[in-house]
Structure 1
Amino acid sequence: MADRYPAPDLARGAALLLIAVANAHTFVTGRGIGVRGYPRDLQGADAVVAAVQLVLVDGRGYPLFALLFGFGIATLAARRATTGAVTGGPGPAARTTAGTAGTPPDDPVLATVRRRGAALLAVGAAHAVLLWHGDIVAAYGLLAVLLAGLLVRGSTTALVTTAAGTIALTVLLYAPVALTDSAQTASPSLVEPGVLAAASDRFGEWLFGNLLLSAVGSAGAAALGVLLARSGRLAAPGRHRRFLTRLAVAGIAAGVLGGLPLALVAAGVWAPPAGIALLLGPLHALTGYAAGAGYAAVAGLVADRWARRGGPGPVGRALVATGQRSLSAYLAQSVAFVGLFAAWTLGLGAGLPVWAATLCGAGVWLVTVLVADRSARAGRRGPAETLLRLLTYGRRPAPQR
């Protein structure tokens, strides 16, 4: 993995902490659901933790991860396209200015991206049925299969249009979140004690309630990730420090300011009129994309500092190793959460405080970082990454040096 860019892997490793923390509270049951899936009537430490997460984490980690997914697809396609002896495909000059127009139907680069997407779709579907309905991997796979031409050959205009359209649609879908107030649990599969019945519930929750929404919500950030990859700003951050600094400051500031109103509602500090409340969800979602881009820029600046100082320290190397094994780490989070919280396992999610769930999420992430670092030192790939390569290329990867 020596030819990988450190900034995206660092961002992935850190983003997994945001995802673990953001997902942990969704396993809390028996307390009703309020703003963004947090329990109703938050008080004390729970209210503080939820407010901090809504400002810095919730709705910010997934846009970052989707952006890095698009970056990864563009990087994979560029590398495959420039190694004609391996792929037999066209080089970068084959990119058209009209989306997929002019793309050969047997384009081997597109075929590779679609095979990888199909593999991700299969892994994500298994993840959803066996463990957690909130899977995001299948949504990425669906995007890679359906939008391969756009992500690989799409013009800047086509990518910007796609990003703007899908982000606008996603933002509108978030309009009711500030008004959510229900005594029911958001995920019946989590409170179902029967293993098979829970799996059946998860399948329905994933297929009809999560897959398409996640794909639409991720499409815009993925398109932006492709544009970021083409610009070279994250791959070579040393030449773009000023741009990355401005993006980091503006993006994170927008995320904080845009997330604060919804955080105040969730914490019980503010009860806006219904008309204003309908604007808070879209504002939170829109600024989440900005925060995700800002976090990616921070990773680029950190990677540039490493380059000027001779490399990362132990913590940096561990985060990069986690980013290189992000699929394995992501799936491992679900294994831990389901084992702890679901009713058909230990059932610890019933009535669990949000702050306790958050600590569990951070602890699970830390364990994955330690395991990934040990795996990197031993020269081993992540098991999910090995499976993904096998499904994509039909062969196991060569051992790492």
Structure 2
Amino acid sequence: MPHTPTTGSPNPATTTSATSALPLDRRSLAPDLARGVMLLFIALAHTHIFAMIISGGEALGSTADQIATAGNAMFVELRAYPMFAALFGYGLAQIYRRRTEQGHEWPWVRALLRRRSRWLIVFGVVHAALLFFGDILAVYGLLALIFVGVLRFRDRTLVVLAVLWVPLGATIQGVVAAEQAMTGQSIFLPMGDGFVEELVFRLTMYAMIAPVMVISTVVPFLVGILAARHRVLEEPRRHLKLLRGAAFAGLPLGVLGGLPLALIKAEVWPGYSPLDAMFAGGLHQVAGYAAGFGYAALIALIAVRLSDRRGPITNALEALGQRSLTFYLAQSAVWAALFASYTLHFQLTSPALAAGIAVAVWLTTVVLADLMRRRNTRGPAEVALRRLTYRS
């Protein structure tokens, strides 16, 4: 039987029209703070990928590079991505709840969400073709298009579906790691030279990795919907026990579960077999789910402490999270400007340097987002998606 959202206490969103955006000063701190912080992890993951592509594999020219590579595996790779997927599911469930509370029937809401999903796919394909092949927008759009009906599933059904999907996500990542171990080659193709060759490279790579990304995203997407149903991030004070358990269990599990693959990538596990790599890859994915949820929970706990005494740093990070789509795309524009053969063509071959570049770019986006906040300017990508979704 379908789940019907409970109204509970009055929701500020119910006072807005079906086509108006929730005012920024009435949004919950925790989800936006999480998005702002996690954009740093996205930047770290992406610059590391470019270092691998340009080098033709894991480039370990120094101890600092080994540390950066191991750190990326344990704290970033397949850790930030599940958290963003959970936040996407959370946001989708929020839209469903708000529009339902406004009196809209399920067919209307479903059509709205499907239209939004189709536009996300358009955004994502253009993004992948022109800027960065590791796009997540089209993946999220496709996921929402396929699984929009789960918004009406009961809690127990969501939990069962998520648990049953975990082995599939782990298996596909394990197979990828085993194949890389058997061939001894990077999973990434050479970028090519010139705009046309790089366009083909990006579309080819995207076609290869998008199915893997979709399969790996289902679990956190479902958990995000479940969390939104109980307003875990909007009302974190009511869920402190759950958040503390998720943070203090999820993060250590994420780090320890990422250790075997980190040892392989940092080349300090000699003589590992494809079977070892398969186990390490599968464990890395499952631990990544735990770490992603742990990061979200930890940031929610921090948001509880900061909610009554926000400083300039909190405001800036929240502003970045409120414009996460815009600055996610902006990061990719920077990567294209730095690394494409027809732009600056910077030869990034050091994972340690890649991490430094990621931090610098992220800090720049924090400053820009705060300037937009001071001017009360929404993110242009967010505005465009809303207008296309609501046809206004």
Asked if TM exceeds 0.5, the reply is yes
Q: Aligned residue for 2:357?
A: 360
Q: Deviations over 1:204-251 (max 9, x none)?
A: 221x21222211111110100011111222211112222211210000
Give the superposition deviation at 1:116.
1.1
What displacement does 1:3 show?
2.6
Structure 2 counterpart of 1:333:
331
Contact 1:192 1:344 in 2 (8 A): no
Rounded Cα–Cα distance in structure 1 between residues aligned with 2:121 and 2:100: 23
Task: Mark the runs of 5 or more structure 1 residues left unpaired by the alignment.
Answer: 34-38, 90-103, 396-401
Aligned position for 1:346:
344
TM-score by length of 1: 0.87
Normalization by structure 2: what TM-score?
0.88
Deviations 1:100-123 (A, max 9, x none): xxxx6xx11111111111111110
Partners of 1:283 and 1:377 lie apart in 2 by: 44
Q: 1:292-328: CA deviations, max 9, x gaps?
A: 0011111111111123xx2321111111111110111
- Determine if the alignment matches structure 1 residue 17 to structure 2 residue 40: yes
Cα pair distance change 1:333/1:267, threshold 3 Å: same
Write the letter of the residue equivalent to 2:367.
L
> What's 2:20 paired with?
none
Which deviations, in whole Å up to 9, do the C-alpha atoms of 1:140-185 show, x marking residues without a partner? 01111111111x2122233223322333211101214266356766
Paired letter, 2:263: L
Please name the residue that 2:85 is paired with: 66
**Measured at CA, do residues 255 and 178 of structure 1 come closer, stay the same or move farther in structure 2, by a change above 3 Å?**
farther
Q: How high is the sequence identity, in percent, across the aligned residues?
A: 39
Partner of 2:31 in structure 1?
8
Q: 2:379 aligns with which of 370, 378, 382?
A: 382
State how far apart, in whole Å, the 2-side matches of 1:54 and 1:363 are: 20
Which aligned pairs between 1:149-228 and structure 2 lie closer than 5 A? 149-150=149-150, 152-176=151-175, 177=177, 180=180, 186-188=187-189, 191-206=191-206, 208-228=207-227
Give the structure 2 partner of residue 26 of structure 1: 49
The total of aligned residue pairs comes to 365
Deviation at 1:132, TM superposition (A): 1.2
Given that 1:50 and 1:266 are in contact with CA atoms closer than 8 Å, whether structure 2 keeps it comes out as yes
Q: How does 1:2-401 map to 2 (within 5 A)?
A: 2-28=25-51, 29-33=53-57, 39=58, 41=60, 43-84=62-103, 88-89=104-105, 107-150=107-150, 152-176=151-175, 177=177, 180=180, 186-188=187-189, 191-206=191-206, 208-271=207-270, 273-274=272-273, 275-307=275-307, 310-348=308-346, 350=347, 352-395=349-392
Contact 2:316-2:367 at 8 Å conserved across structures: yes
- Where does the alignment leave 5 or more consecutive residues of structure 2 unmatched? 1-23
Larger deviation, residues 193-202 vs 361-370: 193-202
Contact 2:117 2:145 in 1 (8 A): yes
Q: Secondary structure at the match of 1:240?
A: helix
Contact 1:198 1:344 (C-alpha < 8 Å) held by counterparts = no
